[in-house]
């Protein structure tokens, strides 16, 4: 080894133990190891290089695998580059620096991927926040007071969990979201205040209705009171809802008053139903008797007497069930109609004016027939067969009418 140099292309050792490293920028001393063989002195510093080379290799693998973020990788490269540049080691330091430099494009690429991913994520966040804002603004104009408040709470929690965007965009979206939530809250409070006022008004109205219902509970004026309760129920429904607990208590009182009245009415109706059905049976038997006695009407005087007796007994019996009224009344009216028809028939037969008109009609027809027969005889005498035939035909027609007129006169005679 001439001039004290060890056989090392990247360094040498002076006889005094000073060790030098060679780089592209020249040669510099890295340290001194006196009183040891030159090879050991050089080996001491080459081992340091080996450690640096291992560190560079590890960094290459971590950068290539993506184990380090771009910023962390850049920081590590800078740190290792400084360590290599100022290293007190002997070896291919320029090669290590070149390897470190080769990592820079990988870091730049990773940084570009990171920026793209961050941009994608931020775009996704922006889309989610815009969607939340759109939904919030829709809720702000709606009337879903129960579900809306829960949905706003959920949207706010989701918003807090999302990353921030750039300040201008994030602030603008938050302003819209916050404004929508404030608008909804104000409208909801105003609605509830209005509802509370309406419920208080409804409470006052329903308290009055309950008082009226309880006053009617013992009434025995069944028809009008039933109508009054129907009117009270209509007013109750129109009053709207009172505060929940109060509304339920008032309804129980209102219903209890109704039940008391209609229960008493039902008891009375049940007793009346038994009485009315017995009346219906009695009227049915009375009709059976009257129909057998009066129909057909052959003696008008007797029929009149029987019908008057029927009406007296009918009225004395009393009311019948509603479903029996029409059938019974129909049979009663049929008896009345039979008597009336008999009276009409008798009047038609005994009407002197009608009898006189019938006799006059018959006399006129007889005179017309005599005239036509005379005309027919004269026409035959002069040989006018056509005129004779016409007169005879007309006379035949008038004789048919005469027969009908004579029957009418006969009816009156009967």
- DSSP labels for 111-156? HHHHHHHHHHHHHHHHHHHHHHHHHHHHHHTS--HHHHHHHHHHHH
Q: Which two tokens stand for residue 46?
A: 């080459």
Q: Which of 333, 350, 367 is the C-terminal boundary of a domain?
A: 350
Give the mean pLDDT of 265-291: 88
Co-location of 140 and 40 in the same domain:
no
DSSP H helical ranges for 141-243: 145-161, 167-216, 222-239
For residue 28, name the pLDDT band (cuts at 50, 70, 90). very high
Where is pLDDT greater, at 6 or 297?
297
Close Cβ partners of 243 (under 8 Å, ≥ 6 residues apart):
196, 199, 200, 203
pLDDT digits (tens, 9 = 90+) for 168-210: 999 999 999 999 999 989 998 888 888 788 888 888 898 888 8
Co-location of 161 and 89 in the same domain:
no
Co-location of 227 and 207 in the same domain:
yes
Residue 300 clears pLDDT 70, i.e. is over it: yes
Co-location of 206 and 183 in the same domain:
no
Residue 302 clears pLDDT 50, i.e. is over it: yes
Co-location of 232 and 261 in the same domain:
yes
Co-location of 281 and 268 in the same domain:
no
Q: Total domain count for the chain?
A: 5
Strand partners, 12: 20
Co-location of 301 and 255 in the same domain:
no
Co-location of 188 and 211 in the same domain:
no
Sign of CA dihedral 238, 239, 241, 245: negative
* Residue from 91, 11, 101, 26 nearest 53 by CA: 91
For residue 411, name the pLDDT band (cuts at 50, 70, 90). low
Share of the chain above pLDDT 90, in %: 45
Q: What pLDDT was estimated at residue 192?
A: 82
Range name among 65-69, 147-151, 315-319, 398-402 with the lowest pLDDT average: 398-402
Return d(Cα 151, Cα 138) in angstroms, integer.
Answer: 12
Co-location of 70 and 173 in the same domain:
no
Co-location of 367 and 381 in the same domain:
yes
pLDDT digits (tens, 9 = 90+) for 70-105: 999 999 999 999 999 999 999 999 999 999 999 999
Return d(Cα 411, Cα 390) in angstroms, integer.
Answer: 32
Burial string for 174-210 (b: 16+ CB within 10 Å, else e) reads eebbeebbeebeebbeeeeeeeeeebeebbebbeebb
Q: What pLDDT was estimated at residue 214?
A: 87
- Confirm if 257 and 210 have CB atoms less than 8 A apart: yes
Q: What pLDDT was estimated at residue 206?
A: 83
Q: Which of 90, 116, 142 is the C-terminal boundary of a domain?
A: 116
Co-location of 135 and 100 in the same domain:
no
Q: Which of 209, 240, 272 is the C-terminal boundary of a domain?
A: 272
Q: What pLDDT was estimated at residue 5?
A: 44
For residue 134, name the pLDDT band (cuts at 50, 70, 90). very high
Residue numbers of the domain that contains 92: 2-116
Co-location of 345 and 367 in the same domain:
no
């Amino acid at each position: 080894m001439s001039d004290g140099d060890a056989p090392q292309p990247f360094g040498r050792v002076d006889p005094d133990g000073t060790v030098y490293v060679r780089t592209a920028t020249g040669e510099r001393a890295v340290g001194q190891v006196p009183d040891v063989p030159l090879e050991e002195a050089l080996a001491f510093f080459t081992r340091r290089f080996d450690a640096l080379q291992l560190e560079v290799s590890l960094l290459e693998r971590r950068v290539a695998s993506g184990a380090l973020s771009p910023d962390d990788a850049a920081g590590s490269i800078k740190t290792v580059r400084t360590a290599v540049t100022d290293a007190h080691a002997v070896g291919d330091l320029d090669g290590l620096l070149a390897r470190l430099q080769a990592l820079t494009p990988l870091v730049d690429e990773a940084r570009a991927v990171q920026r793209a991913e961050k941009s994608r994520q931020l775009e996704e966040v922006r889309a989610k926040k815009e969607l939340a804002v759109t939904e919030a603004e829709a809720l702000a104009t709606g009337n879903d007071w129960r579900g809306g408040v829960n949905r706003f709470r959920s949207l706010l929690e989701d918003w807090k969990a999302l990353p921030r965007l750039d300040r201008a965009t994030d602030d603008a979206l938050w302003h819209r979201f916050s404004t929508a939530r404030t608008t909804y809250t104000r409208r909801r409070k105003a609605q509830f205040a209005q509802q509370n006022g309406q419920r208080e008004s409804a409470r006052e109205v329903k308290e009055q209705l309950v008082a009226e219902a309880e006053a009617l509970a013992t009434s025995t004026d069944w028809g009008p009171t039933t109508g009054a309760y129907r009117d009270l129920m209509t007013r109750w429904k129109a009053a709207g809802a009172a505060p929940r607990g109060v509304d339920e208590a008032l309804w129980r009182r209102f219903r209890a008053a109704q039940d008391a009245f209609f229960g008493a009415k039902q008891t009375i109706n049940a007793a009346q139903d038994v009485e009315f059905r017995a009346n219906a049976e009695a009227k049915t038997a009375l009709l059976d008797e009257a129909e057998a006695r009066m129909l057909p009407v052959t003696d008008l005087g007797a029929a009149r007497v029987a019908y008057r007796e029927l009406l007296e007994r009918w009225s004395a019996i009393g009311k019948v069930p509603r479903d029996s009224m029409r059938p019974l009344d129909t049979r009663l009216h049929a008896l009345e109609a039979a008597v009336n028809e008999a009276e009409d028939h008798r009047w038609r037969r005994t009407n002197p004016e009608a009898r006189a008109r019938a006799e006059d009609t018959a006399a006129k027809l007889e005179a017309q027939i005599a005239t036509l027969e005379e005309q027919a005889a004269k026409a035959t005498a002069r040989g006018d067969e056509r005129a004779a035939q016409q007169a005879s035909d007309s006379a035949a027609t008038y004789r048919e009418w005469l027969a009908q007129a004579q029957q009418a006169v006969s009816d009156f005679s009967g």
